[in-house]
Amino acid sequence: MIPLVLLAGFLGAGKTRFLTELVPALAAGGTRVRIVLNDFRDARIDASRLAELSALVTPLNGECVCCGSLRELLNVLYQVPSDPGSVMCIEANGATETDELLAHLTADARLRQFTLPLQITVIDATRWQKRWWHNGLERAQVSTATHVHLNWTARVGADRQALVRGALQELNPRADLVTGVEFAGWLNELTQRVAGSTQRDVSGMAAMPRSDVAHAHAHPFGAASLALPPIVDREAFRRFVHELPDAVVRAKGLVRFTDAPEKVYVWNKLPGRKGLRLDHSKPHADAQPTALFIGVGLPVSDLAEQLKTLTAERTVDGG
């Protein structure tokens, strides 16, 4: 199996610069690197730069890979051969909505040769939360990250560094703040551990490395997909969504309720909101009730156990 890494961050944050540090460090550990590089216009320029580091690079010019260029990205990933001992990195453009892209990368059954997605977000220490109307998107890109890299620190003083580090820790206390070399060491270990795995395991892949003891038993990826019972109690499901832990940044999926079993709904729990949004859906015939969770340090085992209880309150007339 191949680790799947989403690299996020705004234009100028230094994503490609980060890769020029990461790729040689991975190669030194014996890990081969594939990169999909998404940019609005100049993907081939950075692709040529990265190819000089012996990485296999596919440039994608055009729209964000979370929406307009999503199909093109998925087609590239489908064609990646099984290659244990390698890593697939997606460098997304600065406007990418990471929760949407993580959802697609987690839910697509054709990506079976990859692990569930990880995410590292590169932050420009000089411009953190100085992006006007884009500040919300910058925060969102951090909130879904399993790892964060703070770049351009030499351009700011100690007070600014401390302020930004504190803000990142408060926004996403479950993410690891890493250098390129530290992330490469973690990723090299992960690559070796999953090399013999043949399918995705949403339970957390028991022995995945974490860089600190506090995270030792946490789900190490940025998302997880769990099966819902075929039919659930509506009120029990509402309570489940309302009480989702803070680690869940976003959740979505398909659901059927006991009071209207003939209908299928798309359900959503949006960032920063506790309520449940339902939209009637007409899915493909093979679509099954599902729960897709986006977030860092997800308590996957607990969530799976809670989902099993959602049919307990079903009431049947006459018994």
Please tell us whether the domain made up of 2-215 is placed in CATH 3.40.50.300: yes
Q: Where in the sequence of the chain do the CATH 3.40.50.300 domains occur?
A: 2-215
Q: How far apart are CA 83 and CA 81, in angstroms?
A: 6
Res 163: pLDDT: 97
Euclidean distance between CA atoms 143 and 200, whole angstroms: 23
Note the pLDDT tens digit of each residue in 271-307.
766 678 888 877 666 678 889 898 888 888 899 899 9
Integer Cα distance of 32 and 215 in angstroms: 27
Per-residue pLDDT, 247 = 87
What pLDDT shows up at residue 231? 93
**Spatial contact of 6 and 101, defined as CB atoms under 8 Å apart:** yes
Mean pLDDT by 10 residues, the chain (319 residues): 93 88 92 81 49 64 61 88 92 84 88 92 94 88 94 94 96 94 94 84 46 46 88 92 89 90 88 78 74 88 89 47
Q: Specify the domain boundaries for CATH 3.30.1220.10 within the chain.
A: 223-311
Output the pLDDT for position 214.
38
What span, in angstroms and rounded, lies between the C-alpha atoms of 30 and 207?
20
Between CA 158 and CA 129 the distance in angstroms is 17
Q: Which fold has domain 223-311?
A: Hypothetical Protein Yjia; Chain: A;domain 2 (3.30.1220)
pLDDT of residue 201: 62
Q: Report the distance separating Cα 247 and Cα 144, nearest Å.
A: 9
Residue 118's CB is within 10 A of a number of other CB atoms, namely: 27
